[in-house]
Amino acid sequence: MANFAPDRPGFAGASVTLRNAAAADSFDNNGQTLLIVQNTSGGAITVTVDDPNSQLPSAQTFNPDVQRSIPSGTIDVLGPFPPGRFNDTSGRVQLAWGSTPGATLKWGAVSIS
């Protein structure tokens, strides 16, 4: 599993580290963290943000995970992610990719605090 600390820009700004997407990616989350996803593949790729904490309504089919289809040639921003809903027991947000993206899908996390 690859876990990353978010970049933290200040008044002067900062470069965002974009890394190749891989299985079991995650990032540390303080509730003020944004996910940046860049897709340079030939088609859309889905990112799933795991919600391990929402209670399922009884007798209903419900998946509280958040999914977004990232079109080719775009940079999308998701978040912030409330810790009570999205953090796992280690304080991390878990990501899953709809295909094996390799170097055509990059992501980074930026904390605004």
Domain borders along the chain are 2-6+18-54+62-111
Integer angstrom CA distances of residue 30 from 70, 72, 75: 24, 29, 22
**50 residue type, one letter:** D
pLDDT digits (tens, 9 = 90+) for 12-45: 888 899 999 998 899 999 999 999 999 998 899 9
User: With bands split at pLDDT 50, 70 and 90, how would you rate the model's confidence at 97?
Assistant: very high
Asked if 16 and 67 touch (Cβ cutoff 8 Å), the reply is no
The pLDDT value recorded for residue 61 is 66
pTM > 0.75: yes or no: yes
pLDDT, average across residues 51-72: 84
Q: What DSSP character marks residue 99?
A: S
**pLDDT exceeds cutoff 60 at 103:** yes
The pLDDT value recorded for residue 1 is 54
CATH 2.60.120 given to domain 2-6+18-54+62-111: yes
Rounded distance, CA 6 to CA 29, Å?
Answer: 8
